Amino acid sequence: MIRATALGKRYGMKRVLHDVDFELERGGFLVVTGPNGSGKTTLLRLAVGLAAPTAGAIEVAVDRARLGFVGHEPLVYGELTALENLDLYGRLYRVPERRERIGMLLERFGLWDARRERAAKFSRGMLQRLALCRAFLHEPELYVLDEPFTGLDDEGAELLDRELAERRPRGTFLVATHDPARLEPLATGRLSFA
Amino acid sequence: MRRFAADVATLARKDLRLELRARDTLPAMLLFVFSALVVFHFAIPDSSSRLASNGLLWVAILFTALLGLGRAFVPEREHSVLDGLVLAPCDRSAIWLGKGLATLSFLVAAEAIALPAFALFFSGLGASAVAGVALADVGICLVGSFVAAMSVASRARELILPLLFLPLAIPIVIGGVGASVASGPGRYLAFLALYDAVFAILCWASFEYVVTE
């Protein structure tokens, strides 16, 4: 699903990634670990095409329509409600039975009661739940998740554990985390940055 | 093509909804264009020619548009929403066209105040001048949205936008002023239409490279 060869990324003079090789098979679950600033986020941005490599190559065998991405930011409009944000993405992704699917996800992620509230009024944890709803809305094939547990309380984290376990058999996962033990039961491989 | 039009409509509608809710761009544009015309009214002597006052209208329109364009991508900057739109499986130029159409609607709304105010303070506008304003609006919003997207990734975005946009808007001013005051406005209107068509194609073809690294 993803193959990186001698992958490198520089921002000006700063070398963020150097000579990274890895392969993620379809159905695999690769956990990316490493300290802050080691290049995990850059790697994930390269994988989804939000950044271009300055050396080597990364091939991703899935198009944008089948890719679900959770980054450091929730990628939602603060002035739109949770419902409006998901409706916008649902339209752009041509999600079938959009309203039902949005309702089901909001319910599952505990945001149904806040569905008509503006995202700007959400707590960090609620924004993360909304970001997960956005990323899962179109039933992606490839999940690229950057610190997906950030901001979640215990209940939210357990909910995400269940969600990942449920989606694991029908998806491919590239997940950056500071808590690899949490994802150990699901992982098929680990990529560690020094 | 229908899919592209649907995406553009979705994105433009979202911008109108954001503005209706936040009301931070259109009121500023309305206030600015009206204030600018009031200032011009008192700044130029009564004996000055109609040609000079027509020029001032174009200055007011251009800087009012610049005000709107400066805020065009502010909602996308917040929470990095532009990344989310770039990852969506729509043609990326739909982001530019949706933003251009939303900005166009704000500019037209501002001109609904500006043109009658101009007629009140200075002189009425002929049909060719109004046609010139309409064609210029299209060019301003399409080129301006493109440049606004370019500047949004920059740290000095407040500087980059006017520095890039104003030189590109010079042909619009030439065509607009010509359509307003020349005895044969047809060729100026044709020039504005050509400018709109050429820059629409250029922006549509190159927007993808503006929003991806």
pLDDT in tens, A36-63: 888 999 999 999 999 999 999 999 999 9
Beta-carbon contacts of residue B156 (< 8 Å; ≥ 6 apart): none
Q: Are residues A130 and A145 in the same domain?
A: no
A89/B88 CB distance under 8 A: yes
- Which of A67, A75, A91 lies nearest to residue B81, judging by beta carbons? A75
Q: What per-residue confidence (pLDDT) applies to A177?
A: 92
A92/B88 CB distance under 8 A: yes
Residues of chain B short of pLDDT 70, as ranges, are none
Q: Are residues A37 and A83 in the same domain?
A: no
Q: What per-residue confidence (pLDDT) applies to B78?
A: 83
Tell me, yes or no, whether A123 lies in a domain. yes
Rounded to the nearest integer, the mean pLDDT of chain B is 92
Count of pairs with CB atoms under 8 A, one residue in A, one in B: 73
- Which of B75, B78, B90 lies nearest to residue A92, judging by beta carbons? B90
Interface test with A, best of B79, B93, B209 (most A CBs within 10 A): B79
pLDDT in tens, B133-176: 999 999 999 999 999 999 987 778 788 999 999 999 999 999 99
Q: Are residues A118 and A150 in the same domain?
A: no
Domain boundary (A103, A119, A134) is at A134
Q: Are residues A79 and A166 in the same domain?
A: no
Give CA angle at B209 (B205, B213), nearest 5°: 170
Q: What per-residue confidence (pLDDT) applies to B46?
A: 74
Residue A119: its chain B contacts at CB < 8 A?
79
Residues of chain A short of pLDDT 50, as ranges, are none
How far apart are the C-alpha atoms of B39 and B19, rounded to whole Å?
27
Q: What per-residue confidence (pLDDT) applies to A142?
A: 96
Q: Are residues A99 and A124 in the same domain?
A: yes
How far apart are the C-alpha atoms of B149 and B103, rounded to whole Å?
13
Which residue of chain B has the CA closest to A66?
A: B89
Q: What per-residue confidence (pLDDT) applies to A27?
A: 92
How many separate domains does chain A show? 2
For residue A26, give its domain range.
Answer: 1-62+141-194
Q: What per-residue confidence (pLDDT) applies to A147?
A: 94
Q: Are residues A5 and A96 in the same domain?
A: no
- Which of A50, A65, A73 lies nearest to residue B79, judging by beta carbons? A73
Tell me, yes or no, whether A67 lies in a domain. no
Which residue of chain A has the CA closest to B92?
A: A92
Strand A29-33 and strand A172-176: the pairing is parallel
Tell me, yes or no, whether A93 lies in a domain. yes
Q: What per-residue confidence (pLDDT) applies to B77?
A: 87
Q: Give, as one character, the DSSP assignment of residue B88.
A: S
CATH of the domain at A11: 3.40.50.300
Q: Are residues A55 and A146 in the same domain?
A: yes
Give the closest-approach CA distance of A184 to chain B in angstroms: 29
Residue B86: its chain A contacts at CB < 8 A?
50
